[in-house]
Amino acid sequence: MSKKIAEAKAPTISPILRFQRWFGRNLIRVYMFLAFTYLFIPVAYTFAFSFNDSGKSNLIWKGFTLDNWQNPCGAPEVCNALANSIKIGLLATIFSTILGTMIAFAIGRHKFRGRSTSNLLIFLPMATPEIVLGASLLSLFLVLHINPGFWPTVIAHVVFCISFVVVTVKARIASLDPRLEQAAMDLYANEFQTFRRVTLPLVAPGIAGAALLAFSLSFDDFIITNFNSGTVITFPKFVYTAAARGIPAQANVIASSMFFLALAIVIAGQILNRRKAR
């Protein structure tokens, strides 16, 4: 009876509309929850199994232990691989950030002949599948009789990191207000002073972001590394080769620590930005 009255009072709200409203309000939240669950399942799994009292092969849950976290170098090859990855990552980040930032300034700040060709040259490495990048560099090194190893890997990483640095820094330069630089010039700053005191500090967050991106790309790269590293074992390469015979739980410890470290850096950066904005 009361149901009938309600329908009579609001005849304009059709069930379809009501469903749409409900959809707008709740389904999208449910959806976000499901999507993030999907994204985080393997991360949670990796984290959980870092506490596994597993012995050599970390396949089945055998009991809780803190040993792996207290002794992350218990499997020494894991730590060697990690050290290599960090060294290669830092070198690749430094070189690609410097070269990429220079290119970004040239393209973002100047009009010159060959600008669109330059843009194309930056886009091409991103449009080339990693396996082709890796394989072509290896074939060059073979022709030049350079053995794959540490430095060839660094070079290979710089090749694919440069484009990402250019794109990131260029976006930051494009978002700058040109009037700030004009103001500096009006106040009798010369070109170099303007660049050092005004432009560079404003672009710096973009450069820092680009460097972080370059490091994480380099650190996690497997395909290109696999082609050019020879006998040098990086962390992803170690995990890949160990996958067949069982990955030590220490690898989970390192991957989980990297996850929390990166998350901490990103959150700290966000807080810093918000403080500056105030």
Residues 169-208 that bind another protein (CB under 8 A): none
90/223 with CB nearer another protein: 223
Measured CA to CA, the distance from residue 208 to residue 58 in angstroms comes to 37
Contact set for another protein, span 74-133 (CB under 8 A): 99-100, 102-103, 105-107, 109-110, 112, 115-116, 118-121, 123-133
168/198 with CB nearer another protein: 168
Q: What are the helix (H) ranges across the chain?
A: 2-9, 15-22, 28-48, 67-70, 76-109, 115-127, 130-143, 150-174, 178-186, 191-194, 200-220, 223-228, 235-242, 249-277
- The length of the chain, given as a count of residues: 278
Which of these segments, 2-10, 178-186, 202-210, 253-261, binds another protein (CB under 8 A)?
253-261
**Beta carbon of residue 67, minimum distance to another protein (angstroms, whole number):** 19
Examine residue 140 and tell whether it contacts another protein (CB under 8 A): yes
Q: 């973009």: which residue's tokens?
A: 206
Q: Which two tokens mark 176?
A: 């700058």
Measured CA to CA, the distance from residue 42 to residue 110 in angstroms comes to 45
71/139 with CB nearer another protein: 139
Q: Which of 13, 28, 174, 272 binds another protein (CB under 8 A)?
A: 28
Contact set for another protein, span 50-79 (CB under 8 A): 59-60
Q: Which two tokens mark 219?
A: 């650190």
Residue 146 identity (one-letter amino acid): I
73/99 with CB nearer another protein: 99
